[in-house]
Structure 1
Amino acid sequence: MDDAAVLVPPVKLPTEQELAEQAKAVPMFGYALALARWAAPHRTVDEFGDLVEEDRGPAARLLGLAPAEGEVPEEAEVEALRAWSLACDLDLVELGTTKDGEHVAVPGPDLEPAEQGDPDTVLELWLTAAGIVRELAVEADSLPEEEAGEEAEEGGEPTPEEGGEEDEDGLNEVEEARDAAAELLDEALQVLYETTAFADPGNETVPLGVLAALLVVPEGEEPSEELLGDITDVMVALDPMLGDLAELGLLDYRPIDPELFDEEEGEEPVVGEAPLDEEESARFGLVRLTPLGQYGIRQWLLEDGYDAPLVGDLAQGDAAELLRGVCESANVLPEEELRVWVAGREPLPAARELLAAARGDDAYGPLRRMLCVSALNLLGAEAEPAVREVLDDPELGGSARAWLSALGATDVPVPDRTMALWTVVDTFAAQLLDSGGDAALLRELVTDLPVKGDPAAWFGELWRVDHPYTADVLEAIGELHTDRAVAKEARKAAFKARSKG
């Protein structure tokens, strides 16, 4: 993966048991397990460890790739050989030689726990398989077309022509092409990972053209004609590699319709030249990262030194640990962490715990209180008794009143002036601290401030509020307010607050 400093968003993953079941359901992985079992107690192989000629047809039939009777298609035997090769690479079968010099294969020690569905064994094997396929996909993409075809047929590495010397320049070009293909695939997988993390359930599928555009077009720019051509080139390069990864269950992939590249057309299509309907757009390729794919890419990210958290990582402790963790983490989905924490908890004691954890005049205090209100919203009306208990709390009383009013309560007492002004500062400070807060929301808060017709008097009260963020809030109001007179009074008040501090 790219080693640039990036924040990888948290993802949701099924349990390891569920992931292991999904891995065993992947056809190519299941084929490898089946052939490893078929090798018991031992099976004769050739000197390279491949199935001997007379076993290839039966292996294809065993896997359901060929009919039980009649001739076995060549492509079925090739598929069986690929599955056997994977079983060997995963050590599901081990190769050896008998006393008589016969080459044989026997089941490896991981076969039985994998067949029984041991999550650690299955996922370790699947991840190894995914890594092998990933490398082979890059290898194939970096070869000249003729060599790639020959290698696919022969199942081996490209070699210099017999009697000739290695062409050093040619090898360097292949190496450079391999590195470029690996970098492109890694970037594409990371973008898919991040896109999937933020996608609403059911909307994880990404058009291949969109994925390519995310890799090619600088953020905030519209694609130029030249970039449209680059997008098409990236799509063409990714297409076979994503197809290979789909075989191991990392992706659900609909490849580019080969008819789009009909030689009779005389030129390759360029994505983005004209609006396309949904079906026409799908012909350019669709890709969806599976839960297994998320698991695999996350493991690769962790191996490369990235912080790749899971949703719920911060929700394992008490309310104080939850709120502190969410406040201090840069790559976090706050609402998801809160949702995991409240799930299964009794609403009333959970609300009391959250409210207690929200107190404090430290740097994160305002943000903790904002998160507390969000968690109370998830708990719902059953949290009301706990909220009413803090109505007179100087730090929580204002937001408690607002929460009760939003709930529909009609008997909420009006806060005194000190509490009301303190809550204004605290609420605005929370938005300033929230890394997810946007300028539009801050401007809305500024516009809704009860300055009325006498900003000097209102700011004259506000700068005296005993809150650690009073001056910061006043400075922000001075920058954001569209009324020049109000903005000027806010800046003057900010200066007084700083002087007072």
Structure 2
Amino acid sequence: MAARRRKNAGTSEAGTPGEGAVLPADLELQDLYGAFAAHGLDDDDLDDSAVLVPPVTLPPEAELAAQAKAVPMFGWALELARWTAPHRTVDEFGDLTDPDREPAARLLGLAPEEGEVSEEAVVEAMRAWSLACDLDLIEIGTTAAGEHVAVPGPDLEPAEEGDPETVLELWLTAAGIVRELAVEADSMPEPGHEGHGGHAGGEGGEDTEGSETSADEDEDEDDEDRLSEVEEARDEAAELLDEALQVLYETTAFAEPGGETVPLGVLAALLVVPEGEEPSEELLGDITDVMVALDPMLADLAELGLLDYRPIDPDLFDEEEGEAAAPEADTEEPLDEAESARFGLVRLTPLGQYGIRQWLLEDGYDAPLVGDLAGGDAAALLSGISEAANVLPEEELRVWITDRDPVEAARELLAAARGHDAYAPMRRMLCHSALTMLGGPAEPAVREVLDDPELGGGARTWLVSLGAADVPAPERAMALWTVVDAFAAQLLDSGGDPEQLRELITDLPVTGNPASYFGELWRVDHPYTADVLEAVGELHLDRTVAKEARKAAFKARSKG
């Protein structure tokens, strides 16, 4: 599955990476995924070609398998496979013979038990038959007498019994087939299209020497041109569909429950409009073109349960064939919900999330699930969150603490937070967040580390925020060390984002004598002391304070 390259006109207000960054969402990386930098690491150490896929939450596989079996087209394929037992005569192409086609449509509930069977019902039944054959739910063979017959495939029984592995493997194969067919259909030339070449022969039908050879050559060139056009159109359609599916995948990762439905126009705009720009008149036309191109492909995928899709209302199309009327961007009165829905609505289902994730994994991308890091101990949890680029820290912490004894969980987290390595400040910040989630019941474990030189300052701050009135003030050395450690954690978490760091810098307890304060701070024995002082010197708005911080940073570097 091709990775989506975000259109980017430059650095956004949020500080997003500039052009060339490859992200799966038009959102700020460090805001979404936690720390990606460490002491000695910066943006230059990141692979510009890396694609960071956000973690998602999926239902259990048994539930996904049940959803797959409930998809009509997939269920029909299973039903037709069972119907072939013990065997059923087919034609030389493996298709149902004419006498069996209408009964197949009735079997699937596509036609009444009695009366006329519509052509559309037969076509749908044959499509389900074709899918069952493609999935090897139906196998075609020949008897000793030379008769072509269909029999159930070996996967039918475990699939009917609901074996999750079998069902999901079959469904994923079916989804891949439909995805390819949707792209093929979108890339087919319109009826009557003759390519670029003309017919051979002189005007008025004159027969000149070599005209037959010339005609053959022209026809070959025309065929090659048409094939090239079809292949190019197919590649463009496949890329567009892949990008749209990834946007929808990201939407389900970050949307509030119930907010995953995306208007088709919004989806198209995310694919067309460079970040930070407003759609121009020209881009509005491109958005409409993308909507029209995606509409039939998304409808095809909806048949296999990847999407819930409400297609574009055909009445919205202009008289000119193939051109749809896009919603006006700057109308005085915005469209109401019902009117807006006529332009198309799409939502990725849990099955769709599962399918896209499997395609990403097959292509070598890291596509994590929420809770992947929560299966180990606290050390693995905090280290994993600190060092991973695509993780939702709060979700991982919340999953880990669920159903754990608060005191024991807090003790394990605090022990894992110790250390002087490059990621240690991040671990302590994450530990503080987890303790906040645990709340008051974790207090006994926190009080046990009040005198710990690495954890004591943060422990005191946490207890005070909890409302404890008997917390002793930390010694000066502990207080200064905690200031550096907390700032270092933010430096890592923000990736050095100036806006976020300036807010933190303004809260530094610098007195009216910055030389004295920084004279103490540069002596703090912390691996990030010089980095913190350099950041203050670069970003503090008070020139005197900034100057003293830079001088202190130089002393810290010299000492180190």
Aligned equivalent of 2:504 = 445
How far apart are the structure 1 equivalents of 2:322 and 2:66? Answer: 47
Q: 2:408 aligns with which of 344, 349, 356?
A: 349
| CA shift for structure 1 position 452 | 2.8
Matched, 1:335 2:391: no
SS for the counterpart of 1:49 is coil
Aligned equivalent of 1:16 = 61
Q: 2:125 aligns with which of 58, 61, 80?
A: 80
Residues 344-382 of structure 1: CA deviation (Å, up to 9, x unaligned):
211111110000000011111100000001111222211
| CA shift for structure 1 position 273 | 2.9
How far apart are the structure 2 equivalents of 1:218 and 1:168? Answer: 35
How far apart are the structure 1 equivalents of 2:495 and 2:151? Answer: 56
Please give the residue correspondences for 1:136-285 in structure 2 after superposition, counting only pairs within 5 Å: 136-146=181-191, 167-263=223-319, 268-274=324-330, 275-285=334-344
Against the structure 1 CA distance between its residues 436 and 253, is the aligned structure 2 distance closer, same or farther, given a 3 Å change threshold?
Answer: farther
Aligned equivalent of 1:387 = 446
Residues 188-239 of structure 1: CA deviation (Å, up to 9, x unaligned):
1112112221212211111111111111112222222111111111111011
SS for the counterpart of 1:185 is helix
How far apart are the structure 2 equivalents of 1:17 and 1:77? Answer: 32
| CA shift for structure 1 position 99 | 2.1
Aligned residue identity for 1:2: A
Against the structure 1 CA distance between its residues 347 and 437, is the aligned structure 2 distance closer, same or farther, given a 3 Å change threshold?
Answer: farther
| CA shift for structure 1 position 271 | 4.2
Q: 1:132 aligns with which of 166, 177, 195?
A: 177
The answer on whether the counterparts of 1:228 and 1:271 sit within 8 Å (CA) in structure 2 is no
Aligned residue identity for 1:370: M
How far apart are the structure 2 equivalents of 1:493 and 1:272? Answer: 58
Against the structure 1 CA distance between its residues 411 and 272, is the aligned structure 2 distance closer, same or farther, given a 3 Å change threshold?
Answer: farther
| CA shift for structure 1 position 387 | 0.4
Aligned equivalent of 1:291 = 350
Against the structure 1 CA distance between its residues 266 and 367, is the aligned structure 2 distance closer, same or farther, given a 3 Å change threshold?
Answer: closer
SS for the counterpart of 2:191 is helix
Against the structure 1 CA distance between its residues 425 and 218, is the aligned structure 2 distance closer, same or farther, given a 3 Å change threshold?
Answer: same
SS for the counterpart of 2:439 is helix
Matched, 1:319 2:378: yes
Please give the residue correspondences for 1:10-89 in structure 2 after superposition, counting only pairs within 5 Å: 10-89=55-134
| CA shift for structure 1 position 438 | 5.2
How far apart are the structure 1 equivalents of 2:276 and 2:251? Answer: 17
| CA shift for structure 1 position 436 | 7.1
How far apart are the structure 2 equivalents of 1:278 and 1:489? Answer: 58
Give the TM-score of the pair, scaled to structure 1. 0.93
How far apart are the structure 2 equivalents of 1:281 and 1:479? Answer: 49
SS for the counterpart of 1:96 is strand
Q: 2:471 aligns with which of 412, 420, 429?
A: 412
The answer on whether the counterparts of 2:292 and 2:323 sit within 8 Å (CA) in structure 1 is no
How far apart are the structure 2 equivalents of 1:57 and 1:27? Answer: 18
Paired positions, count: 486
SS for the counterpart of 2:149 is strand
Aligned residue identity for 1:268: A
Matched, 1:396 2:452: no
| CA shift for structure 1 position 177 | 0.7
| CA shift for structure 1 position 391 | 0.7
| CA shift for structure 1 position 293 | 0.6
Give the TM-score of the pair, scaled to structure 2. 0.84
Residues 156-197 of structure 1: CA deviation (Å, up to 9, x unaligned):
xxxxxxxx9782211111111111111111111112112221
The answer on whether the counterparts of 1:209 and 1:235 sit within 8 Å (CA) in structure 2 is yes
The answer on whether the counterparts of 1:2 and 1:187 sit within 8 Å (CA) in structure 2 is yes
Please give the residue correspondences for 1:303-318 in structure 2 after superposition, counting only pairs within 5 Å: 303-318=362-377
| CA shift for structure 1 position 247 | 0.6
SS for the counterpart of 1:12 is coil
How far apart are the structure 1 equivalents of 2:68 and 2:361? Answer: 20
Unaligned runs of 5+ in 2: 4-48, 194-218
The answer on whether the counterparts of 2:292 and 2:324 sit within 8 Å (CA) in structure 1 is no
Q: 2:360 aligns with which of 297, 301, 305?
A: 301
Greater CA deviation, 438-447 or 111-120?
438-447
How far apart are the structure 1 equivalents of 2:504 and 2:401? Answer: 29
How far apart are the structure 2 equivalents of 1:118 and 1:267? Answer: 46
The answer on whether the counterparts of 1:11 and 1:310 sit within 8 Å (CA) in structure 2 is yes
Unaligned runs of 5+ in 1: 149-163
SS for the counterpart of 1:252 is strand
| CA shift for structure 1 position 270 | 3.1
| CA shift for structure 1 position 147 | 8.3
| CA shift for structure 1 position 97 | 1.5
How far apart are the structure 1 equivalents of 2:328 and 2:430? Answer: 42
How far apart are the structure 2 equivalents of 1:208 and 1:337? Answer: 32
Against the structure 1 CA distance between its residues 210 and 96, is the aligned structure 2 distance closer, same or farther, given a 3 Å change threshold?
Answer: same
Aligned residue identity for 1:26: V
Aligned equivalent of 1:493 = 552
The answer on whether the counterparts of 2:494 and 2:500 sit within 8 Å (CA) in structure 1 is no
Aligned equivalent of 1:2 = 2
SS for the counterpart of 1:468 is coil
Residues 414-459 of structure 1: CA deviation (Å, up to 9, x unaligned):
1111111111111110001115785443222111111132212111
More relative contact order, 1 or 2 (CA 8 Å, 6+ apart): 2
Against the structure 1 CA distance between its residues 97 and 241, is the aligned structure 2 distance closer, same or farther, given a 3 Å change threshold?
Answer: same
How far apart are the structure 2 equivalents of 1:400 and 1:112? Answer: 59
Structure with greater proportional helix content: 1
| CA shift for structure 1 position 397 | 0.7
Against the structure 1 CA distance between its residues 5 and 242, is the aligned structure 2 distance closer, same or farther, given a 3 Å change threshold?
Answer: same
How far apart are the structure 2 equivalents of 1:176 and 1:271? Answer: 29
Aligned equivalent of 2:6 = none
The answer on whether the counterparts of 1:231 and 1:271 sit within 8 Å (CA) in structure 2 is no
